[in-house]
Each structure stands twice: as structure tokens, then as C-alpha cells.
Amino acid sequence: MAGDRKKVKREAPKYEQIIAMNDDKINVLILGTSGCGKSTLINSILEANEAPTGVGEAVTKEIAIYQNDALPFRMIDSVGYEYGLFKQNRIKRDIAKFCKEGVKTADVEKLIHMIWFCIDGTIKRIDQEVLGYIKSVTNDWKNVPVFVVFTKSYSAVEVEENISMAKAAFEKYNESHKRKQINVKDIIPVVAKEYQINDSVTVPPMGLDELVSRTIELAPEAKQISKDAIKDIDLKMKNTMANALIGGATTAATAVGAIPIPIPDAAILVPIQSGMLASVAKIYGIRDKDDANEIKDTIIKVGGTTMGGKALLNALKAIPGLNVAAAVLNAAVAGSITLAAGEISNVLFQKAYTNEIELKNIDWNKEITKMFNEYMPGIIDALKSISQDKDGKIDIKTIGEALASLAKTFSSKGNK
């Protein structure tokens, strides 16, 4: 390679850093209704592997991580879901939050590689709602492999019935949730600790070795699956942050735009927009200052000229029935341009972050003009429908709010 070209130095994306760190133990999240035997199961596995029991590191009141040197996986215990209790929502939220936490804080102990979904084997019932619980808390971890663990499997006859019941229940669930499938890998009955049926009969522990060895076997595949999920979660979080920021800047621009200064000059929007673009770049860790600055400057320039001027104003004036003061129109122009500028930066900086594009050697003027032309009709359409809803009488506040909430709908397109 010739040495005369400036090397673009960028840190590896965060998701790649996390994936790179992620070659140690896998983490098993243990879910199931309250009292089904999760903690008993964990303790028995730890005991069998010569670790003192009950020494999980509490993450929250609801979640604790258990590990020892002998086991090649960590067990994450969670407080179970209980019917009819309002606290279940808090528990759900806390577990869902935990499931993002590992990616957010780059903490390998808090990634999710696998789920043991525990079902009390004596209950003989599986509600679809309970299966939905798996999805509702681990939705971000796409395709995470699940072992269904029947706890308290004291009766050999019931074990067979339970397995067929679980197969049917998960099949039914996946049949009606095509886009939110539960990736069941195995159904394993266990007795975590000896169970006394009467004076003369006890059921000995069983199934723990199988559960442990099947988990170890699945670890490489589970790790592989987690890579996609980690990338996805990282991008989703960044996308959400960027769109919150863009929404805020859009609202601010709408307010500033209402000040009676000719918008095509747009100079008054520059501080808001450049602040927004710098913050979006920062979210994606874009440090290559020269290239990023070229993009930012071009976005502001194109926004202020090509689409920002009369064309957009005319498009808004042409909205049937829209009957508002010039100040409101100007506010709509300012907000629309700022929203489009933000979304364009979100798309470009995200692509740079994931190495889908190199920031160098691109005709930004052409590229960004094209993007504005793609974004603006959607924004104008949105304003049209608001105008319709409000009988043509929209005020600045309505426009600001509408455009800001539009930021969220764009995000889902930009990042599936």
C-alpha cells in the first residue's frame, strides 16, 4: 500500500469488541414461573460441581449470576413470573433491561447465550401466555436457543405426557407467532433434589448431568447465534439514541423556524443542525474528523439549499386545505429539513459504523441530495395527513410534535 494516503483509523464497532471478548463462558438465563424450581436447580448443579450454594452475585433484587471455576457456563437466576400480580410487569421490565445491559456496558457476564425455560412438571399445563413471557423478556436476543426443563419430574409417566404437551404447546406458539419464534432445542426432565413420596419411597435426583452436558454441547452454536443478536442490540440502542436526539433537534428547529426570518437563508438553523449531526456521529463513534465533517457540512448545505428553500415551501403551500400563517409554514420547513438531515446522518453514520461504507471517495453532494429527495416526500405526506386530521389548522406545537414522532417511524425503516 502506498504511504501517501491518509489511513482512516477507526475503533472496531462496539458490537465487534463485545463479540471478541465473548469467547469465555456462555450464560444461561433461567426463566420460569415463581416456585417452579429454578433456584433449587441452580443450587443442585453448583453442589454437584463442588461449589458452595446460594452465592449468586445479585445484579438486581430479581436477578443473580451464579458461576464457579468448574462449570463452563454461568447461570442467571431470575425471580419468576406470577399470575395476577402487578409486580410481574416490573420483573419483566427488569429482565428485559438486563438483557440489553450486557451489550450496553460491554459486560460478558450479562450477555444471553441460552435460556433454560423451567416448567413445573407436576402442574400438567402450559399456557401460551407463559410462553409469550419468554419472548417478552428476551425479544432482543433473536433466535436464542431454549431448553425446556421440566422440573420436579418425579413421575416417569408424567414425564412422557409433559414432553408431548410441551412439543404441542411450542408448536402452537410458533405457528401463531411466525416472526417471533421460540427456538426450542431440547426438552429435558429433571429432579433437582431428592423427593420423598412417602415413608418408603423417594425419587432420586435425575437429569442434571444431561442438562449440563447438553448445555455444554450447544455452547458453540449458542455463541454463534449470540453474535447476530449482539450486533442487532447495539445498533438498535444507537438508533434509538440517535432518533431521540433528532426528535429533540427537530422540535427545536420548528420553534426557531417560526421566528420570522427567511428560511432559505437558514443560517439560524445551523447551530441546531450541526449540534445534532455532531451528536449523531458521536453515538456511532465516528472519530475520523475530516470525513465526518465533510458529511455534516454537506448535509447542512444541501438541506439549506436544494430542498430547503422554495421547493419545500411550495410543496407545503400546495397541501390541500392547509390554511396557516407564514410563520407556521416556515416552522414546518425548518422542522422538516432538520428531521431529514438527522435521519440522513443516522443512516450514513450507522453504515460507516458497521463498515458498510467507507467515508472516503464518495460524492457527498450527489449522495446527500439524493437522500433528501427520498426523505422529503414522506415528510410532506405526513404533514398532509396531519393537516387533514386538523382541518387544515395546525399550529407550530403540533408540527413540532408530529415531526419529532416521525423520527421514530424512520428508524424502523433504517434498521430492521
Ligand X SMILES: Nc1nc2c(ncn2[C@@H]2O[C@H](COP(=O)(O)OP(=O)(O)O)[C@@H](O)[C@H]2O)c(=O)[nH]1
- Residues at the interface with Mg ion (CB under 5 A): 38-39
Which of 13, 56, 80, 145 forms a contact with ligand X (CB under 6 A)? Answer: 80
195 binds, among ligand X, Mg ion, none (CB under 5 to 8 A by kind): ligand X
Q: Does residue 121 belong to the site contacting ligand X (CB under 6 A)?
A: no
Cα–Cα distance measured from residue 124 to residue 126, given in angstroms and rounded to the nearest whole number: 7
Q: Does residue 35 belong to the site contacting ligand X (CB under 6 A)?
A: yes
Please give the angle made by the CA atoms of 339, 344 and 348, to the nearest 5 degrees. 150
Helices and strands (DSSP H and E) totals, the chain: 12, 9
Cα–Cα distance measured from residue 345 to residue 329, given in angstroms and rounded to the nearest whole number: 24
Which of 38, 74, 110, 296 forms a contact with ligand X (CB under 6 A)? Answer: 38
Stretch that binds ligand X, among 99-107, 185-193, 240-248, 334-342 (CB under 6 A): 185-193
152 binds, among ligand X, Mg ion, none (CB under 5 to 8 A by kind): ligand X
Give me the count of residues in the chain.
416
Q: Centre a 10 Å sphere on the Cβ of residue 396 and count the other Cβ atoms it contains.
A: 21
Q: Does residue 206 belong to the site contacting ligand X (CB under 6 A)?
A: no
Stretch that binds ligand X, among 92-100, 190-198, 227-235, 262-270 (CB under 6 A): 190-198
CB of 115 to Mg ion, least distance (A): 16
The residue whose grid cell reads 400546495 is 318
In this complex, which beta carbon is closest to ligand X, that of residue 82 or of residue 374? 82
CB of 38 to Mg ion, least distance (A): 5
Which of 22, 26, 27, 40 forms a contact with ligand X (CB under 6 A)? Answer: 40
Cα–Cα distance measured from residue 21 to residue 371, given in angstroms and rounded to the nearest whole number: 37
296 binds, among ligand X, Mg ion, none (CB under 5 to 8 A by kind): none
Between residue 126 and residue 155, which ones bind ligand X under the rule CB under 6 A? 151-152
**Grid coordinates belonging to 384:** 398532509
Q: Centre a 10 Å sphere on the Cβ of residue 266 and count the other Cβ atoms it contains.
A: 23
CB of 154 to ligand X, least distance (A): 8
Q: Centre a 10 Å sphere on the Cβ of residue 209 and count the other Cβ atoms it contains.
A: 12
The 3 state secondary structure assigned to 61-127 is CCEEEECCCCCCEEEEEECCECCCCCHHHHHHHHHHHHHHHHHHCCCHHHCCCEEEEEEECCCCCCC
333 binds, among ligand X, Mg ion, none (CB under 5 to 8 A by kind): none
Stretch that binds ligand X, among 2-10, 29-37, 45-53, 165-173 (CB under 6 A): 29-37
In this complex, which beta carbon is closest to ligand X, that of residue 137 or of residue 404? 137
CA distances from 369 to 172, 249, 280, 281, 383 (A): 49, 21, 19, 19, 21
In this complex, which beta carbon is closest to Mg ion, that of residue 39 or of residue 411? 39
191 binds, among Mg ion, ligand X, none (CB under 5 to 8 A by kind): ligand X
Cα–Cα distance measured from residue 210 to residue 36, given in angstroms and rounded to the nearest whole number: 19
Q: Which residues contribute to the site for ligand X (CB under 6 A)?
A: 32, 34-40, 80, 151-152, 191-193, 195
